[in-house]
Amino acid sequence: MDDIVRMEHVTFTYPATDVKESFNALNDLTLSIEKGSFVAVIGQNGSGKSTMAKLVNALLLPGEGTVWVNGYDTRDEAHLWDVRQSAGMVFQNPDNQIVSSIVEDDVAFGPENLGVEPAEIRRRVDEALEAVGMTAFRKNAPHLLSGGQKQRIAIAGAIAMRPQCIVFDEPTAMLDPKGRKEVMRIIRQLHAEGITCILITHFMEEAAQADRIVILNDGRIYMDGTPREIFTDRDSLMALGLDVPMAVDLSYQLHDLGVDLPAGIVEEEELIEALCPSK
Amino acid sequence: MIRDITLGQYYPGDSILHRLDPRIKILATLAYIILLFIVNEWIGFAACFVFLAVEVALSKVPLSYILRGLKVIFLVILFTFVLNLFMYDGEVLVRIWKLTITDQGLKRALFMAGRLILLIISSSILTFTTTPIQLTNGLERLMKPLSKIGVPSHEIAMMMSIALRFIPTLLDETDKIMKAQQARGADFESGNILHRAKQMIPILVPLFISAFRIAQDMALAMEARCYHGGQGRTSMTEMRFRRRDYITAVILLLFAAGIITLRVLI
């Protein structure tokens, strides 16, 4: 059994406030994430995506059920730092997660907290900055960088802790298209290097790049499968008010108009290939 | 306008001053400021001036950049100068109505203004050549003995460095809020001071709310990266006194001894 994250019958309830009644963000959720996989989690606002992300990092603890990360129960305080070291986290707002006013000092923040030896921190910081292609900016002030660059710094900060798994909580939501592409390229690269990536996103094109898509609705798993399995079931997605990637949508519409297309087209390239074969 | 403030900003570089240990730089700046107030004769003053001039030259920070920092406090300097000018008895140089300028007054005024200028330049040299992180790390180390008597030195240093980090972010936020309100007809430019101050209230409220939101996000991000206070924390930049730091210390001691001797002798 090689699961990096295992959630068993997890229920999480946000307590009532003055303006809101208490509600269950997650309802009896059971989910396993295999080591080295790339899983996209999608769902509407309030579907429990972000809550799930925070449970993986022990920023929230399950009300009922158990979350296992890298073999540690997240409720076990003795292993709290092991859990957080194993599962790094990148948040949505690039500005609010950068601690230091110098890029390389920020990347060093995590390893410093872990009490790593200074020479080793130096090595990790250099490697992490290299991995996200930000070495040239290591002495810069983060607030002068673009959103995409800041998000890459945040990713480097997570990498420097040598996690086995990184949870990306809508990392591209506040970026321009260029920044979004940069961040996605790095996520794919990290996955190729063997880090488990959990990507929470609103963008179907991004989710399509994962090995597996989990769709949450009302704190439960609504669909779970490969991008191909998920996107070919367009009606279920539409029922939730979710979009499908452009290529899928277009091939459906063409199909309805009587164009003969193979089923299960997800990527733009596949559609192009199906419409105008290159040979 | 706010962006013009160079005071307290870091100027990236690789000069000998940039490479000095932050602890020695903090102590040297403190010592220099104290010496500035010990000096009371032209010769000592000239020595302080030369000392700082060498420092500026060594730092390789452009002079224009340094002087820009003075612009902000120009009024304070002027005020100090004028105030001192009329305050002392002595040989009368100029008499304007009931106010007299004496030779003593002129000397004191020049000294006071000069002290302020040198003080500001010397402390800006410290911040120009030391990253906020080094600065706070240095302060943390210097304050470490105090943590034995219950001073939370790590927490103070962390708070300072985060505050420095968020100055630009909060400035952006203020700008955004002001623009949003101007777009809806708010007027921040006309009216007297009282009126304008009142106009600022609708900016402060959303600014505070967003500052709290940022703080919450930040705390979460720090926790996610295993922050748990100063205990067991290491630092990427090791602080070790090197030869250049010892040499600096010796030069500084000689300089201080010289200034104090001057004061005693004259």
State mean pLDDT over A185-207.
93
In a domain, residue B53? The reply is yes
* Residue B89 confidence (pLDDT): 75
Which chain B residues contact residue A108 at CB under 8 A? 235-236
On average, the pLDDT of chain A sits at: 89
On average, the pLDDT of chain B sits at: 84
Mutate to test the interface with B, among A85, A89, A92, A99 (most CBs of B within 10 A): A99
DSSP state of A166: E
Tens digits of residue pLDDT in A126-173? 999 999 999 999 888 888 899 999 999 999 999 999 999 999 999 999
Which chain B residues contact residue A139 at CB under 8 A? 12
* Residue B2 confidence (pLDDT): 47
Q: Taking the mean position of all CA atoms in its chain, how far away is CA A133? A: 20
In a domain, residue B144? The reply is no
Q: How many CB atoms lie within 10 A of CB A2?
A: 8
Range with the poorest average pLDDT among A96-100, A204-208, B136-140: B136-140
Report the b/e string of A136-168 with b at 16+ CB within 10 A: ebbebbbbebebbbbbbbbbbbbbbbbbbbbbb
* Residue A279 confidence (pLDDT): 63
* Residue B7 confidence (pLDDT): 52
Written as six digits, the tokens of A146 are: 């673009």
C-alpha count within 13 angstroms, C-beta hemisphere, residue A190: 36
C-beta atoms of B225 and A161 within 8 A: yes
User: Which band of pLDDT confidence, cut at 50, 70 and 90, is reported for residue A252?
Assistant: confident
User: Which band of pLDDT confidence, cut at 50, 70 and 90, is reported for residue B8?
Assistant: low
For chain B, how many structural domains are there in total?
1
User: Which of A95, A102, A114 is facing B226, going by the closest CB pair?
Assistant: A114
Question: Could you give the angle at the alpha carbon of A12 between the alpha carbons of A8 and A16, nearest 5°?
Answer: 170
Measure in Å the smallest separation between the Cα of A223 and chain B Cα atoms.
28
Q: Is the confidence at residue A98, as pLDDT, over 80?
A: yes
Domain locations along chain A: 3-223
Measure in Å the smallest separation between the Cα of A153 and chain B Cα atoms.
13
Written as six digits, the tokens of A182 are: 């940069």
* Residue A225 confidence (pLDDT): 92
Residue pairs spanning A and B at CB distance below 8 A: 104
In a domain, residue B25? The reply is yes
Helix (H, G, I), strand (E, B) or coil at B27: helix
- Residue found under tokens 């090995």: A211
Q: What is the largest CA-CA distance in chain A?
A: 65
C-beta atoms of B226 and A125 within 8 A: no
ipTM over 0.95: no
Q: Is the confidence at residue A250, as pLDDT, over 90?
A: no
Which residue of chain A comes nearest to B230, CA vs CA?
A113
Residue type, B173: E
In a domain, residue B108? The reply is yes
Tens digits of residue pLDDT in B173-222? 888 898 888 898 877 777 777 887 888 888 889 999 999 999 999 999 99
In percent, how much of chain A has pLDDT > 70? Answer: 99
User: Which of B168, B225, B235 is facing A118, going by the closest CB pair?
Assistant: B235
User: Which band of pLDDT confidence, cut at 50, 70 and 90, is reported for residue A65?
Assistant: very high
Distance between CA atoms of residues A167 and A30, nearest Å? 17
Strands B92-96 and B99-102: antiparallel
In a domain, residue B138? The reply is no
Is the pTM higher than 0.80? no
Distance between CA atoms of residues B265 and B260, nearest Å? 9
Mutate to test the interface with A, among B19, B167, B222, B236 (most CBs of A within 10 A): B236
C-alpha count within 13 angstroms, C-beta hemisphere, residue B257: 6
Q: What HEC string does A173-230 produce?
A: CCCCHHHHHHHHHHHHHHHHCCCEEEEECCCHHHHCCCCEEEEEECCEEEEEECHHHH
C-beta atoms of B236 and A111 within 8 A: yes
In a domain, residue B203? The reply is no
A3-223 CATH fold: Rossmann fold (3.40.50)
* Residue B1 confidence (pLDDT): 39
Q: B255 lies in which domain range?
A: 2-130+238-265
- Considering just the CA atoms, what is the radius of gyration of chain A in Å? 20
Q: What are phi and psi of A175, to 5 degrees?
A: -105, 160
Q: In this structure, are residues B56 and B124 in contact, taking their beta carbons and an 8 Å threshold?
A: no
